[in-house]
Structure 1
């Protein structure tokens, strides 16, 4: 089986989203053969009509009261100013920059691409898909939708600084993909820094892939892979799931921060440089001393706390309804079903539970039931104890649920 065009082979029972809806590869196969290595196309991966659609586009633009930056508009490689497609919301809403559906219609009919950004925050089916995929991959995921008129394109050839899964929803779009000019770019190494090399590769290099995506197809591109896309004979809608990969460089940043924090407690490192110092190029031995202390601090540093804080900050927990939460708290009885709120990134360290909504400390008697909660299974308030269940509901860690 070709690794650049993966044919539909049927998903195994119990498979995750990566296998059942995106690649037809198990997580292990994808990690071994594709992840961060090569572009891969899966024909007929899934029917995505339950995730996104033309009617979803119309509802988001015309009825949801979205504001920038939840939408961008692009044409022929340029992004239009937001003032060209926003307007005041009218009586009773002191909002000056809501989407103007009439202006958007005119721009779209004139060939502009509509980019609905951060759909994982505004469209529930996409939220659910992104949440599960992020958990499977262990990397933060976002979602954008690109709505392109026939025979038009929104952006020139470029690369992203995150991996992407492209899910074709409606219509057809031709994708031309080239290998990277900079493999594995970091987040502060955008394609605009290498504009001429990107343009030369796109104009003269042999494409790695030149193909048309149709509804149900999925294209995976590692960060750095050049791509451009053009709608064919009808409106094209595709979802891009952007995977913001943690890298060794990310881990080095956390390690360095932990070491520098430790050096803040070292009185020798807090001391001023000598008067008249020549700085790093001088011969007074200061750089050697600093290097020695820094290397020692790096050897002792634990990057885990900073890494996990950064990871929790990269996403938000699953939605929580305050009225449903209050009702559950007021009506709490031993048989009340509850579960851990999804996408919390919970981590129990000693007697402290860290989550995306803060941390909680527990007495020793509560640690066993709290640890059991982390499997995400439905429990009853009686299993946990009413006092503990009530505390976790108030904290937004537990949510009511059906069995």
Structure 2
């Protein structure tokens, strides 16, 4: 559990708090081999696709065109890429930079995400947030997965409130009037990490110094997904469950039909050996960790046909 122990200082606390209450871990040590300000700098100048870049200021999302790279009028230049210089200018103007799906764009994060996925059994999704001093990025919101906010550089104040609805399954705008008083108000510093169960409303503001943190979200399997899968299995086994509902001109007893189909489904579920229900097909496969960047010198002197 080495990777998880870089996000929490006590696995037992994580187990007892999972999906129920937030907590802060301290003294986690250096994180520069996974993510840093230098790595973020490298990424913004590496022709990131615009789908991986977002900017916020005071809770409002900024138009992506502000950081779009000018690629001329060549019709082949169709892919929209981010301009690192324009990104830096927006951050200098008070905008928060968000780099999304870093497990697909950053080898260091990719390797870490793969390890976290292996240790947790959940798909790991990583996003970085860079915010200048005395600024707010995203407005108060909640996530649909449990997340770990690992502070990498500077500090950020987080105010966390209880969920408006526990264990939400779809994204909704947060109504400020429905949000209660914070259950946690903390300034996160380098080497610390905040765990937030899904649904907990949170908002972050920088102090007099800037902030860079990596958000690691763990996407698990809900019982809803399991039951949907079992229902699909039942429809394959029982043709009655594949029938369409009776037409409007039919004089059939609809209530009796509903009861019959519910009994069929109930018998199907009661006969299942739950210890043999496979969960792996319900998981989204975690991309394999990206290999280290090869050098051109190594590539040029690599014998043809030899495995790297």
- Given the two structures, how large is their TM-score scaled by the length of structure 1? 0.67
User: How do 1:262-341 residues align onto structure 2 when only pairs under 5 Å count?
Assistant: 262-263=237-238, 266=239, 269-270=242-243, 273=246, 276-277=249-250, 282-283=253-254, 285-300=256-271, 307-311=279-283, 313-319=284-290
Rounded to whole Å, the distance in 1 between the matches of 2:69 and 2:160 is 37
Which among 47, 53, 72 is matched to residue 71 of structure 1? 53
Determine the C-alpha separation between the residues in 2 that align with 1:271 and 1:245: 33
1:218 aligns with 2:202: no
Distance 2:271 2:290 in 1: 39
Q: How many residues align?
A: 299
Give the Cα–Cα distance (whole angstroms) in 2 for the partners of residues 329 and 252 of structure 1.
51
Pairwise CA distance, 1:216: 0.7
Preserved CA contact (<8 Å) 2:114 2:286: no
Write the mapping of 1:225-244 to structure 2, written as runs, cut at 5 A: 225-244=200-219
Partner of 2:115: 132
Structure of greater Rg: 1
Q: State the distance in 2 between where 1:261 and 1:46 align.
A: 52
Q: Which residue of 1 aligns with 2:81?
A: 98
Task: Provide, for residues 78-122 of structure 1, a one-character-per-residue CA deviation record: whole Å limited to 9, x for no partner.
Answer: 212222221343579624411022332232122111100011111
- Distance in 2 (CA, whole Å) between partners of 1:278 and 1:111 is 67
- Mapped to 2, the partners of 1:59 and 1:233 lie a distance apart of 25
Q: TM-score w.r.t. structure 2 length?
A: 0.85
Cα drift, residue 65 of structure 1: 0.9
Indicate the residue corresponding to 1:151 in structure 2: 134
Give CA deviations for 1:190-246 in whole Å, capped at 9, x if unaligned.
231xx32xx1254xx332111111111110010011110011112210000011122
Q: List aligned pairs for 1:20-35, cutoff 5 A.
A: 21-26=6-11, 28-31=12-15, 33-35=16-18
1:245 matches 2:220: yes
Contact 2:150-2:215 within 8 A present in 1 as well:
yes
Following TM superposition, by how much is the alpha carbon of 1:61 offset from its aligned partner in structure 2, in angstroms?
A: 0.7
Q: Structure 1 residue 301: deviation in Å?
A: 5.7
1:59 corresponds to which of 22, 42, 47: 42
Aligned 8 A contact 2:107 2:289 in 1: no
Query: Is the contact made by 1:168 and 1:217 (CA closer than 8 Å) also made in structure 2?
Result: yes
State the match for 2:25 in structure 1: 42
Distance change in 2, residues 1:232/1:278 (3 Å): farther
Secondary structure of 1:171 counterpart = strand
Q: What secondary structure does 1:191 align onto? A: coil
Instruction: State the alpha-carbon separation in 2 of the partners of residues 176 and 243 from structure 1.
Output: 21
Give the Cα separation in 2 of the matches to 1:278 and 1:114: 62
Distance in structure 2 (CA, Å) of the matches to 1:136 and 1:143: 16
Give the aligned CA root-mean-square deviation in angstroms. Answer: 3.0
3-state SS of paired residue (2:122): coil
Aligned residue in 2 for 1:259: 234
| Whole-Å separation in 2 of the counterparts to 1:109 and 1:246 | 40
Task: Quickly say closer, same or farther: Cα 1:93–1:58, change in 2 above 3 A.
Answer: farther
SS at match of 1:126: helix
Where structure 1 has 5 or more consecutive residues not aligned to the other structure, the ranges are: 1-14, 332-399
CA 1:284–1:102 in 2, change beyond 3 Å: closer, same or farther?
Answer: closer
> SS where residue 50 of structure 2 aligns?
coil
1:174–1:232 contact (8 Å) kept in structure 2: yes
* Native 8 Å contact 1:88 1:95 kept in 2: no
SS at match of 1:277: coil
> Who is 1:110 aligned against?
93
1:200 aligns with 2:177: yes
